[in-house]
Structure 1
Amino acid sequence: MLTATTLIVMVLAARRSYPVSLDARFLSFSAALLFSTLGFLSVGFLIASSVPTARFAQPVGSLILYPMLGLSGLFVPIEELPPMLQTIARLLPVTYAVSLLKGIWHGEGWLAHAGDVAVLTLMFLVCTAISAKVFRWE
């Protein structure tokens, strides 16, 4: 809820300075943002369950997340990447979260992004199941 509120405030503040057209429906975009966040929380749970200490989990998470962000199409369109990096980008779950969020932001429907939703759902289910199996209380 706080993320959605922050997003609304940022967009309203930016509209004063930048001529941004907003085709997104806030409720739909907030749902897509929540859906993507849940998918990546499960990756965080998997990392936290797999490493020996919480202190070690943060750098491991950063080591995994930042390259995924760079290849996901968030900063540079995937089509402009070299062919090998395009193949790698299509294997990364962040690519599908970025695609879903960009599509919803531009007013596309959820059905247009059924593949993105399927990949994020699969990632959530697999990572949650593995982290539940791997986690040990100490």
Structure 2
Amino acid sequence: MNWYAIRTIYRFEMARARRTLLQSIVSPVLSTSLYFVVFGGAIGSRITQIDGVSYGAFIVPGLIMLMLLTQSVSNASFAIFFPKFSGTIYELLSAPVSHFEIVLGYVGAAATKSIILGLLILGTASLFVPLTIAHPLWMVLFLALTAVTFSLLGFIIGIWADNFEKLQLVPLLVITPLTFLGGTFYAIDMLPPLWQTVTLANPVVYLVSGFRWSFFGSADVSVAASVAMILLFLTACLGIVAWIFRTGYRIRP
């Protein structure tokens, strides 16, 4: 294992985040905090509690998950797309660095940035509402697994995209709508029976539900189903990344 190469890629990506601190850290935290203030203040005054939890506290895990999914995909996709766009990826591919080490460096940095953002938003939310975390170890596990899985998805999107428009296509038209419709701002049992069944086909529901369970001990679906779903995502993404490097899909002429 070439730890020097992994550390170099990782430190380069983390340094890029520090150079664009306003865009990488401040903007996501501020925008998510505005979601919390608007939805928590406007709707929270009309919905007192859900499953014994105040509405302001109830939406915190969903908002963290919303940010985590979108930022993990965006960070990882841009990180690998820009070297491909500028042509410097060929220097990386010709260097004595394995494909696994390349993925580990880029995905590790993207996941780290997303986890930091998630913790910052959690700290910001605790200033507005009292929060208790019923299962802190599970919370960290869900946070880490989700960040890694969707950073891998972002890596795949960055390889697939051949222009900046495609780079934003999946996050804007797929990830964000699925997250909003995945129980971020409401409990699934608040919906009519038909829509409850339809909503269960949304994979993001399982991620939000499991993460919310780690906070409050209540979930819309079983925790086992949530863990199984995220592990299924992770396995699928790993398989696609392995296929990309094996075939050279859009990374070799």
Per the TM superposition, whether the score is higher than 0.5 is yes
CA apart distance, 1:43: 2.6
Instruction: Say if 1:32 and 1:101, in contact at 8 Å, map to a contact too.
Output: yes
| Deviation at residue 122 of structure 1 after TM alignment | 0.6
Which residue does the alignment assign to 1:116? Answer: 226
Candidates 170, 173, 178, aligned match of 1:60: 170
Calculate the TM-score normalised by the size of structure 1.
Answer: 0.74
Q: Structure 2 CA distance, aligned partners of 1:84 and 1:131?
A: 36
Shift of 1:121: 0.5
Q: CA RMSD in A?
A: 2.7
What's 2:88 paired with?
Answer: none
Which residue is equivalent to 1:43?
Answer: 153
1:72 and 2:182 are equivalent in the alignment: yes
1:31 to 141, 161, 165: 141
* Corresponding residue SS for 1:72: coil
Q: Percent identity?
A: 26
Conserved 8 A contact 2:136-2:214: no
**TM superposition shift of 1:12:** 3.9
Residue 132 (structure 2) aligns with: 22
| Partner SS state of residue 39, structure 1 | helix
Relative to structure 1, the CA distance from residue 81 to residue 48 in structure 2 (aligned partners, 3 Å threshold; closer, same or farther) is: farther
**Which residue of structure 2 aligns with residue 100 of structure 1?**
210
Aligned to 1:6, which of 120, 124, 130?
Answer: 120
Greater mean alpha carbon deviation, residues 27-36 or residues 56-65: 27-36
Corresponding residue SS for 2:127: helix
Q: Residue 13 of structure 1 aligns to a residue in which SS? A: coil
Structure 1, unaligned runs of 5 or more: none
Gaps of 5+ in 2: 1-114
Using the TM superposition, give the Cα deviation of residue 107 of structure 1 relative to its aligned residue in structure 2, in angstroms. 3.9
Partner amino acid for 1:51?
Answer: A
Contact preservation (8 Å) 1:47, 1:61: no
The number of aligned residues is 131
Q: Which moved more, 1:64-73 or 1:80-89?
A: 80-89
Radius of gyration: which is bigger?
2
> Using a 3 Å threshold, how does the CA distance of structure 1 residues 99 and 127 change in structure 2: closer, same or farther?
same
| Residues 130/84 of structure 1: CA separation in 2 closer, same or farther (3 Å cut) | farther
TM-score normalized by the length of structure 2: 0.44
| Alpha-carbon separation, structure 2, partners of 1:61 and 1:32 | 20
